[in-house]
């Protein structure tokens, strides 16, 4: 169901009439699972209360990286919703083109890539190159999604693959190692 404006400005719940409703809910369930997995990882790395400057820096870096990922996840959610059920996501009176222009998936992936460059030091170079390659592939995939989705209404998109490329792999192959690198660098700075 979604809310819509009724007589006298009152909002009412109306049933969704989207043909891809089942796929949308499946994608949302997968997004929820990805988010839960990520939050579990983040909680494990951010649990300690900072006591020295290096730990405060680590906490700030971890929060910034977590926000990058949450922005990516939200952009993906908006893309999926606009593609599969625009009536549920679009502000009434706006065009579908205007709604899709709000999806910033490539930009959010790029922000993570830039933050990765700022956080990863030379000691962790072996992690940086594969992470950069994966993020470039995710950005290219996301760019293709943004071209395909408005035209096809999401019908030509394998949403499981899209979620894997743009989110699940980013969590497992970028965010997890990146949070580990940040935590380890804070411990090394603490010992100096």
Residues 6+ apart with CB under 8 A from 116: 128, 131, 132, 135, 174, 178
Please state whether 9 falls in left (phi above 0), alpha (psi between -120 and 50) or beta: left
| Residue 34: CA count within 13 A, CB half-sphere | 26
Report yes or no: 144 and 152 within 8 Å, Cβ to Cβ.
no
pLDDT in tens, the chain (192 residues): 444 555 555 555 556 667 777 888 899 999 999 999 999 988 887 777 777 887 888 888 889 999 999 999 999 999 999 998 887 787 777 888 888 888 999 999 999 999 988 888 766 667 888 999 999 999 999 999 999 988 887 788 999 999 999 999 999 999 998 888 887 775 555 554
Rounded CA-CA distance 192/180 in Å is: 19
Q: What pairs with residue 12 in β-bridges?
A: 4
């Amino acid at each position: 169901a979604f809310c819509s404006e009724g007589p006298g400005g009152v909002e009412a719940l109306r049933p969704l009439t989207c043909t891809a409703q089942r796929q949308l809910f499946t994608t949302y369930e997968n997004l929820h699972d990805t988010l839960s997995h990520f939050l579990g990882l983040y909680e494990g790395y951010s649990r300690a209360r900072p006591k020295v400057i290096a730990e405060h820096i680590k906490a700030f870096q971890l929060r910034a990286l977590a926000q990058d990922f949450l922005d990516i996840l939200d952009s993906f959610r908006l893309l999926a919703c606009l593609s599969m059920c625009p009536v549920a996501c679009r502000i009434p009176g706006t065009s579908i083109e205007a709604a899709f222009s709000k999806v910033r998936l490539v930009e959010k992936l790029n922000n993570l890539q830039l933050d990765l460059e700022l956080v990863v030091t030379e000691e962790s170079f072996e992690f940086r190159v594969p992470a950069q390659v994966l993020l470039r592939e995710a950005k290219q995939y996301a760019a293709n999604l943004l071209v395909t989705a408005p035209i096809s209404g999401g019908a030509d998109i394998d949403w499981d693959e899209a979620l894997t490329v743009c989110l699940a792999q980013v969590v497992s192959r970028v965010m997890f190692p990146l949070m580990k690198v940040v935590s380890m660098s804070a411990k090394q700075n603490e010992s100096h």
